[in-house]
Structure 1
Amino acid sequence: MTINITTKPRGRDLGLPFAGRTGTHNAITDVSGVGVGFRTIIEDVPRSGRKRPVRTGVTAILPHMHSETPIPVYAGTHRFNGNGEMTGTHWIEDGGYFLGPVVITNTHGVGMAHHATVKWMIDRYASTYQTDDFLWIMPVIAETYDGVLNDINGLHLTEADVRAALDSVATGPVEEGNCGGGTGMIAYGFKGGTGTSSRTIEFDDRPYTVGVLVQANHGQRDWLTIAGVPVGKHMQDGTPQSQMLERGSIIVVIATDLPMMPHQLKRLARRATIGIGRNGTPGGNNSGDIFLAFSTANAHPMLYGSGGHLAVEMVNDELLDPVYLATVDCVEEAVVNAMLAAEDMGGTAYDRFKISAIEHDRLAALLRELRPS
């Protein structure tokens, strides 16, 4: 199954000088076996008894999407600024892996997303979980805050919404901007949301891929830097003063088919800090900047009952610098792609604010004017 979406201009379409060679779709799904699905909820009229519109959703990322049994994926995490949540990270820190999907939603939807994802895994992997009552499930659920544009306290996310995102997981191009968990998000005072990017690299004369997906809801306007140009300082108009400040968070998910061990993936996750920093954020106090990196290599079956020894492949640390650079480049580009794909949101009689998307033509003009030749 592949995704059929309407393409929107991305950074490279506008001539932004991003480094590196992308995969086929310039998306996290360029990593073989990784699928992405969305459930997007946009209702500009409040539901009965509520005062604000509903603009939220769910993003699901599934490693080994074609497998009928859960496959552990080695992983590492990093918390740059901790004003946020990503479940399962204590076990990733200790055990070095997770099972099943990664789901991203809004701050108050974490509980429902966790509950629904557990039930989805029990059904999807019935041959594993419905035959042994002693197996536990600990999915990775992450969040950013969409309460400026969404009636977050209405707790509108349902089990059916989460399952719809999980059931729609597919390969191919990935929708960006106002979709899935990124539906109601704001980045650098502009409309933010979901963004993705990928890089192909040669490692020891073999081809590999690094792919990134972000849920961008962070930064303040005067920090925004694109292609090395501090464009935010020149785009101060049109946004309420309250949205000029750091009010949100960013989740970064990094996937690769490189055979990396948990300690290496933890180091890879840390590089997302540099990637988001390229666009200007220092990691504001009110931001939850939380990053996850995983590898689809070393695809062993469930570790329970696997015997006393496991044979794994591992790359040489001394050759990882190009992988780090590819990851930094991906994160930088994914954030910009999220903002470029986003569309204006809010401004109705039921909203406190209208959040505008960044204007492509104005951005291009500023880059031509301010970027050194």
Structure 2
Amino acid sequence: MRLREFGATVGYLPTGRYNAITDVPGVSVGQVSVIEDNPTVRRSGVTVIFPHQGNLAWERVYAGTDVLNGYGVMVGRMTIDEWGLLGSPIVLTGTRSISSGIEAATQYLTKIDPNLGEFDLAIPVVAECDDGFLNDNRGPALPVEAFFQAFSAMSSGPVAEGSVGAGTGMQLFEFKGGIGTASRVVEEGGRPFTLGVLVNTNFGRRHQLIVRGRPIGLELETTTRIDREGSCIGVVATDAPLLPHQLSRLAKRMGLGLARTGSAANDSSGEIFLAFSTAMRFPRNRSLQEVGYIIDGQTSERIPLINRLFDAAIEATEEAVLNALLEATTVFGRDGHSLVAFEPNKFPHLFD
């Protein structure tokens, strides 16, 4: 069950229809889980976020990134920071399968635009978390076919959460974690803007867990079985017309949302965030100077709007993490390892 199914809320802003990243018009998500026992124990998967349903190789959108603690990998981030543009699906997977994700995303981009390699390169965005507590990383990476299945499964409706997709093998505060999502709607001048968040959670020690401001982790039995401090990949999507530097600022606020759940961005944890705006698309045959000219003057730093978007990003991130925790199911993995689901019914006071 999701947080709101317990009658509980986070923050003051309203949600979108699905309370998911797909509430942002045009954004879709595809996922596939890979659960196998022979010849290798696999508890892994793929989650893909599509910024829009057009030709991603041809029509890019503004984007920005931020890093809270950098022990992790997001392929393609340097290009986004340099140009402020995103022209790829955002692929999330386990650490072992980064190479397969790059290959699959490159093939996908060149397939939808066969001319891509003639005048430009496909630089996909692929981000990882380490699912090696349950997944046997000594075995091979996921096949590219698994990524193609996720590409084919893209949907703009409700998003499955917990032990699914890239979150299949992930932990959260030493419980089972994984994928979580949430959204918020803000208004500026009578016009609504939607912001959605998706996280792949793989972080935290049990004593750190905070649920809606209550340090529940201090009441829980501590386990020392997990020797990884984990990571979190976070993605923010919005239809608000923001520039790249504003999107980087928006991405930064995801760290505040994580902190509300108890994250301390531990030393060997990787919290890497990406934010993009669907407000405008920029064909690859436009120069960067033309792109800047198109949008300059249309998106001033409107303080009331940007502050509400900051609130939205923080609230949605906190709720997305809690949804990942509440939706995840117990999973057994390699070498007798297991991650048990959090049992909210034992703590009804959390939802008062």
TM-score (norm 1): 0.89
Q: Is the 8 A contact 2:33 2:44 kept in 1?
A: yes
Find the counterpart in structure 2 of residue 15 from structure 1: 7
SS, match of residue 282 in structure 1: coil
Label 1:92 to 1:306 Cα distance change in 2 as closer, same or farther (>3 A). Answer: closer
Q: Is the 8 A contact 2:34 2:42 kept in 1?
A: yes
Label 1:307 to 1:335 Cα distance change in 2 as closer, same or farther (>3 A). Answer: closer
The answer to whether 1:292 aligns with 2:274 is yes
SS, match of residue 298 in structure 1: coil
SS, match of residue 29 in structure 1: helix
The answer to whether 1:278 aligns with 2:266 is no
SS, match of residue 119 in structure 1: helix
Identity across matched positions, percent: 38
The answer to whether 1:58 aligns with 2:46 is yes
C-alpha deviation, 1:220, in angstroms = 0.6
Find the counterpart in structure 2 of residue 360 from structure 1: 344
For the aligned residues, what is the CA RMSD?
Answer: 1.8
Following the alignment from structure 1 to structure 2, what is the Cα–Cα distance between the partners of residues 144 and 308? 37
C-alpha deviation, 1:168, in angstroms = 1.3
Find the counterpart in structure 2 of residue 137 from structure 1: 122
Following the alignment from structure 1 to structure 2, what is the Cα–Cα distance between the partners of residues 148 and 191? 11
The answer to whether 1:106 aligns with 2:98 is no
The answer to whether 1:24 aligns with 2:9 is no
Letter in 2 for 1:332: E
Q: Tell me whether 314-323 or 87-96 shows the greater mean CA deviation.
A: 314-323
Q: Is the 8 A contact 2:65 2:251 kept in 1?
A: yes
SS, match of residue 242 in structure 1: coil
Segments of structure 1 that go 5 or more residues without pairing to the other structure are 1-8
| Partner deviation per Cα, 1:24-61 (whole Å, 9 max, x = no partner) | 00000000000000111112x2x23x4xx211011000
The answer to whether 1:346 aligns with 2:332 is yes
Residue in structure 2 matching 1:230, options 207, 212, 215: 215
Following the alignment from structure 1 to structure 2, what is the Cα–Cα distance between the partners of residues 182 and 71? 29
C-alpha deviation, 1:363, in angstroms = 3.0
Letter in 1 for 2:98: V
> For 1:69-148, what aligned pairs fall within 5 Å after superposition?
70-126=58-114, 128-129=115-116, 133-148=118-133
Letter in 2 for 1:241: T
Following the alignment from structure 2 to structure 1, what is the Cα–Cα distance between the partners of residues 311 and 228? 27
SS, match of residue 317 in structure 2: helix
Letter in 2 for 1:36: V
Q: Is the 8 A contact 1:88 1:139 kept in 2?
A: yes
Following the alignment from structure 1 to structure 2, what is the Cα–Cα distance between the partners of residues 338 and 303? 40
Label 1:226 to 1:123 Cα distance change in 2 as closer, same or farther (>3 A). Answer: same
Label 1:236 to 1:136 Cα distance change in 2 as closer, same or farther (>3 A). Answer: same
Following the alignment from structure 2 to structure 1, what is the Cα–Cα distance between the partners of residues 34 and 237? 26
Residue in structure 2 matching 1:311, options 294, 301, 316: 294
Residue in structure 1 matching 2:206, options 215, 221, 231: 221
The answer to whether 1:196 aligns with 2:200 is no
Following the alignment from structure 2 to structure 1, what is the Cα–Cα distance between the partners of residues 323 and 290? 45
Letter in 2 for 1:25: Y
Find the counterpart in structure 1 of residue 237 from structure 2: 255
C-alpha deviation, 1:68, in angstroms = 7.2
> What is the number of equivalent residue pairs in this alignment?
347
| Partner deviation per Cα, 1:156-209 (whole Å, 9 max, x = no partner) | 401111111112111010010111111000010000000000001102321110
Following the alignment from structure 2 to structure 1, what is the Cα–Cα distance between the partners of residues 220 and 112? 47
SS, match of residue 6 in structure 2: coil
TM-score (norm 2): 0.94
Find the counterpart in structure 2 of residue 4 from structure 1: none
Residue in structure 1 matching 2:249, options 256, 267, 270: 267
Q: Is the 8 A contact 2:55 2:112 kept in 1?
A: no
Label 1:106 to 1:337 Cα distance change in 2 as closer, same or farther (>3 A). Answer: same
Letter in 2 for 1:55: R
C-alpha deviation, 1:82, in angstroms = 0.5
Q: Detail structure 1 runs of 4+ shifted over 6 Å in the superposition.
A: none
